[in-house]
Structure 1
Amino acid sequence: MGQTKSYNYDSQNNIIEVVDFDGNTVSYEYDDKNNLIRTNFADGTFSENRFENSLKVYSRDIYGLEKTYAYLDGNLTQVGYADGTTERYSYDALGFLVSETNRQGITKSYTYDQRGLLVSEGSGDRRQFITMMVMVKK
């Protein structure tokens, strides 16, 4: 006999429940804008999110680790962690990600061509420097 996994949806087609092969249930809760605000796991743990103007501003994972999120013109600019560290993101005038700095302070930069295609990616950490060239046939 085959095992089944079931999925249940609400009237907005949001997945609200998954029951796995062993009968364990994970349930999902949404706000009035269909943003996922809480996930309840079978073991009693949960994760949650808060949104403002449809942008995530807070999250808490199953281990209780919290993050805050900041935006500018709809682009994610910063993720803050409970230990005081941050990740930062910068964008060009067209909204393309041009740099990101991780929690350790290492910055990765991105370069795009005139069509908006990513042509290079570089890291400030010399051990991790990567360059990617995109070749396009005409």
Structure 2
Amino acid sequence: MLDGFPLELVDGEASNIPIGWLNDLVSPKNKILVVTVLGVQSTGKSTLLNTMFGVQFAVSSGRCTRGAFMLLIKINEDVRKDFNCDFMVIIDTEGLKSPELAQLDNSHEHDNELATLVVGLSDITIINIAMENSQK
């Protein structure tokens, strides 16, 4: 994770969060800023994070992220005072309103749980909204 590889934070199938290991990666005295992206499936959430932070979350058309994946980024010494943190955690989430999950009776509950989790964990939540150009 410290080498920049995404790690599964929330298992998309079991909704399990193995968070205990995070304490082993960073000292309790370190300040961590958490940034999350949330939005409907196929609105470019992973691409947005890749562009903003120079990271490599998986991208493709359709449902490519299941659950939530996180990346830990160590902040350089020269900008730590500006950011007021030692690390940033970037969280990429699966899309809301997934057609694959729409047929399930509790699909809205899954979306609500995911949204509640990431908003609760985050210092900053980016809501990615698909915009269509209706001009012809």
* TM-score bucket of the superposed structures, by smaller chain: under 0.3
Taking structure 1 as the reference length, the TM-score comes to 0.24
Q: Structure 2 length as normaliser, TM-score?
A: 0.25
Higher relative contact order, chain-length normalized (CA < 8 Å, sep 6+): 2
Structure with higher Rg: it is 1
Tell me which protein shows more helix as a share of its residues.
Answer: 2
